[in-house]
Every structure is written in structure tokens, then in C-alpha cells.
Amino acid sequence: MGERIRARRKQQGVSQEDLAHAAGLDRSYVGAVERGERNLGIDNLHRLAEALRCEARELL
């Protein structure tokens, strides 16, 4: 899932910091999720999907 989030973010030309800010999350948390170091809860998945303008299922 982290790889999909990273790919979508890069496709949109968004930095981790900007994505984290838009989702109301910490940049280090987003980075850890992208690297597979942190598990992503359902609430934060929805926050990231909204910030990336996609459906949560597209990131699963």
C-alpha cells in the first residue's frame, strides 16, 4: 500500500510534506507508511486518499 501511495503522490507532483499537511498527518508518518515501516489505520487511509483525490480502495 505504501508503494501505491508514493506512486500516486509522485504522479501528482506532491511532496511528502505537502501530502502530510493536506491529510493532517505528520510528514515522518507518511514517509514511514510509504516505506512500509508503519501500519496505516483506516481513518488515516481515508485522509490520505482524500488528499490524493482518489478512493481509498485505489490505494489498497
| Model confidence pLDDT, tens digit, residues 8-58 | 999 999 999 999 999 999 999 999 999 999 999 999 999 999 999 999 999
- CATH number given to 2-59: 1.10.260.40
Write the pLDDT tens digit of every residue in 33-44. 999 999 999 999
In this prediction, residue 47 carries a pLDDT of 98
Alpha-carbon distances, residue 35 vs 16, 19, 42 (angstroms): 12, 15, 18
Q: Give, for 16, the enclosing helix (H) or strand (E).
A: helix 16-23
Q: Please tell me the predicted confidence (pLDDT) of residue 7.
A: 97
Q: By the 8 A CB rule, do 51 and 44 touch?
A: no
